Amino acid sequence: MAVESAGLSPVEAFALVGVIGVGAQWLAWRLQMPAIVLMLVAGLIIGPATGIFIPSRDIGDLVGPMISIAVAVILFEGGLTLNFHALQDAAKGVRRLVIVGAPLGWLTSTLAVHYGAGLGWAASAVFGGIMIVTGPTVIAPLLRQARLSRRPAALLQWEAIVNDPVGALAAVLAFGVVQVMQADGGGGSAAGHFFVGIFFATLVGWLAGRGIALAFRKALVPEYMKVPVLFVVLLAVFTISDRVLHESGLLAVTVMGLVIANAELPSYEELRRFKEHATILLVSGVFILLAAGLDMTALLGLDIRAVLFVALVVLVARPLTVMTSLIGTSVPMRERVLVALTGPRGVVLMAVAGLFGERLVALGVPDGAAIGPLAFVLVAATVVINGFGLTPLASLLGLRAAEVPGVLLVGGTRLTTSLGRALAKADVPVLVTDVNLGHLRHARAAGLKVFFGDILSEAAENKVEFIGFSTIVAATDNDAYNTLVTTDLAPEFGRDKVWQLPRAKSESARHNLPVTLGGRRIGDGRPYEDYEALLTQGWEVRTTKLTEEYSFEAWRADRPNAILLCVIPANGDLRFVGADSKQVPVTGARLLALSPPKAEAA
């Protein structure tokens, strides 16, 4: 039971939502748990459980508009990730999941709601349309956590983003039909209004995306104003489209993001990264608001039929929809099984379900009151099931890019070959890349996987399983290129996971670079030329395991000249070593160090 509370001011409420939401995401990262689970729990604790924060009391009428705008921005950011070049051989599967899967999913979900939860046909049809969505805000972190192979990851990501607005529009159509039927009219006018709204939303989104792309390409907008202009155009597109057909604004902003994503804008990466940061804040806020505003009485009023409903959705409706949709495609059966058993729901489902539930009740459909609690149960159940089950399922089906996070070595040199060989012996996946095919001959001779091409190119983005690598080491003979690679990939890998060889002239004030450029310096401060000279003399990277009898101090005493490059602790959390590293490896860790020839060492 919630305790009595005097309530919070709007400013205090916003601060609390931000701290709790982002704090839950950070804690989830530390604990390697699905963030949405912790956000839902946190929202329930500060809301219905304790009464500290009740959105309707502390924020009032702003709750609905805030959630609507947040969902629009989230879907727009999702559209920005949908680059057609990334589809490749998954294109047909995605089309089938959208064109065939959406209406079929609507039908199967409606049946699951009616026969499982016991709702009437009117409420079941509206809720079934909403259930088409699979939650891009949930899918994205799950894919990162599970490190799926490219094709099943693309299938899940595209389906989630494209079907989100489709599900909202399906609910709009069903609600319109219910509305007309309640008024003893025909459904023709509702259907006509629906299709006009879809056409208008698509047109507005396409025109806005093309207009933004043209304005940015012709430098009609200064660099520092691009993000603000993009944001206000997004709000305008959402509002205008929503005015014609409610919830069609979600489709309009998704189309707008899709057009911009495929316009090949030079400033696209900056725009996408800003939207990713905004999305993290918005997802946190929306989940906290929705969970905190949940009617606990209605939730506790659910019976065993709610469990039957979730079981039908997860075990029947979703697998039947996916398996039927992918018949006749080239998607392998194990990938179909993975996609069929992966269907977490998220922000859009909870937000839209709550909205239409209230509208159905106002329309005289009492079953509408059960839609909000059922949506919460479905979101919580699917997130827990997929959050904790996707990784083992992908491993069982052999669809993970890498069971152990790998290392991406940029530069086909003697150093990367020797280091790659040692990492491979330690069961760490390795990929060596270089723009010069001849430079890769040593790595290929050592049996290492290689990629011929620029790691920053579009070809690399489409062919390299970046999600299977957690660390990058730039070790080419070109200091400027090493700095470029680590600077560009730092936001994706994390600045503590990008390393490069120290620059030859880094000590000179004339050549010194700001700390914002480049990656962390690997080794003891030697540049590329020094490493190549040592390797030419017969030095190589060797692995040594520390034990209780053989400590790090003993290892250092035996090898005073060895250059420590990498430490793999007993838990497998690989980390490279720089000249400023202070942490001392402990028992059970494996040391990878560039060591002199064995005869010299002896």
Question: Can you name the CATH fold of 406-601?
Answer: Rossmann fold (3.40.50)
Confidence of residue 4 (pLDDT cuts 50, 70, 90): very low
Contact in structure between 218 and 247 (CB atoms under 8 Å) = no
Measure the CA–CA gap between 529 and 167, rounded to whole angstroms. 58
Going from N- to C-terminal start, the domains of the chain cover 10-397, 406-601
**What is the strand order of the sheet 449-452 is part of?**
449-452, 430-434, 406-410, 469-474, 498-500, 520-521
Q: Which of 181-185, 381-385, 465-469 has the lowest mean pLDDT?
A: 181-185
Q: How far does the chain reach from its first CA to its final CA, in angstroms? A: 72
Looking up tokens 């200064």 gives 222
**What is the strand order of the sheet 575-576 is part of?**
540-545, 590-595, 563-568, 575-576
Tell me the two tokens of residue 412.
Answer: 């086909």
Measure the CA–CA gap between 233 and 256, rounded to whole angstroms. 10
pLDDT attached to residue 113 = 92
Query: Is the confidence at residue 276, as pLDDT, over 80?
Result: no
- Residue 563 β-bridge partners: 594
Measure the CA–CA gap between 597 and 468, rounded to whole angstroms. 33
The pLDDT tens digits for 104-153 are: 988 999 999 999 988 888 888 888 888 887 766 677 777 777 778 777 88
Between residues 77 and 476, the one the model is more confident about: 476
pLDDT attached to residue 470 = 85
Query: Is the confidence at residue 443, as pLDDT, over 60?
Result: yes
Measure the CA–CA gap between 574 and 70, rounded to whole angstroms. 37
Phi, psi of 520 (to 5 degrees): -75, 150
CB atoms within 10 A of CB 308: 15
For residue 164, CA distances in Å to 131, 352, 473, 592 come to: 9, 10, 38, 47
pLDDT attached to residue 189 = 62
3-state secondary structure of 473: strand
Measure the CA–CA gap between 324 and 268, rounded to whole angstroms. 37
Ordered alpha helix ranges (H), 131-225: 136-146, 150-182, 188-217
Percentage with pLDDT > 70 across the chain = 88
Strand 430-434 with 449-452, pairing: parallel
Contact in structure between 136 and 111 (CB atoms under 8 Å) = no
Query: Is the confidence at residue 492, as pLDDT, over 50?
Result: yes
Strand 498-500 with 540-545, pairing: unpaired
Section 571-599 average pLDDT: 81
Region of 51 please: left (phi>0), alpha (psi -120 to 50) or beta. Answer: left
pLDDT attached to residue 195 = 74
Measure the CA–CA gap between 147 and 465, rounded to whole angstroms. 9
pLDDT attached to residue 180 = 63
Ordered alpha helix ranges (H), 59-149: 63-80, 91-99, 101-112, 121-130, 136-146
pLDDT attached to residue 418 = 92
pLDDT attached to residue 137 = 66
Residues contacting 581, CB < 8 A, separation 6+: none
Phi, psi of 430 (to 5 degrees): -135, 140
pLDDT attached to residue 434 = 92
Contact in structure between 486 and 409 (CB atoms under 8 Å) = no
Measuring CA to CA, which residue among 595, 598, 571 is closest to residue 585? 571
pLDDT attached to residue 584 = 78
Confidence of residue 291 (pLDDT cuts 50, 70, 90): confident
pLDDT attached to residue 519 = 86
Contact in structure between 143 and 161 (CB atoms under 8 Å) = no
pLDDT attached to residue 253 = 87
Residues contacting 507, CB < 8 A, separation 6+: none
Phi, psi of 504 (to 5 degrees): -65, -35
Looking up tokens 């899918």 gives 139
Contact in structure between 444 and 450 (CB atoms under 8 Å) = yes
Between residues 169 and 55, the one the model is more confident about: 55
Average pLDDT along the chain: 82
pLDDT attached to residue 191 = 62
The pLDDT tens digits for 325-377 are: 888 888 889 989 998 998 888 777 877 787 778 778 888 888 888 888 898 88
Measure the CA–CA gap between 91 and 524, rounded to whole angstroms. 47
Section 193-201 average pLDDT: 78
CB atoms within 10 A of CB 45: 15
Contact in structure between 130 and 65 (CB atoms under 8 Å) = no
- State the CATH architecture for 10-397: Up-down Bundle (1.20)
Confidence of residue 8 (pLDDT cuts 50, 70, 90): confident
Tell me the two tokens of residue 517.
Answer: 């450029």
Q: Which of 73-82, 232-241, 331-340, 392-401 has the lowest mean pLDDT?
A: 73-82
pLDDT attached to residue 400 = 80
Confidence of residue 3 (pLDDT cuts 50, 70, 90): very low
Amino acid making up residue 66: M
Tell me the two tokens of residue 99.
Answer: 């064109």
For residue 302, CA distances in Å to 46, 360, 367, 375, 416 come to: 22, 18, 12, 12, 59
CA angle in degrees (0–180, nearest 5) for 20-22-28: 95
Query: Is the confidence at residue 423, as pLDDT, over 80?
Result: yes
Section 504-527 average pLDDT: 75
pLDDT attached to residue 556 = 87
Measuring CA to CA, which residue among 221, 207, 205 is closest to residue 265? 221
Q: Which of 6-20, 333-347, 351-365, 421-435 has the lowest mean pLDDT?
A: 351-365
The pLDDT tens digits for 54-98 are: 888 888 888 878 877 887 887 787 677 666 665 555 567 777 887
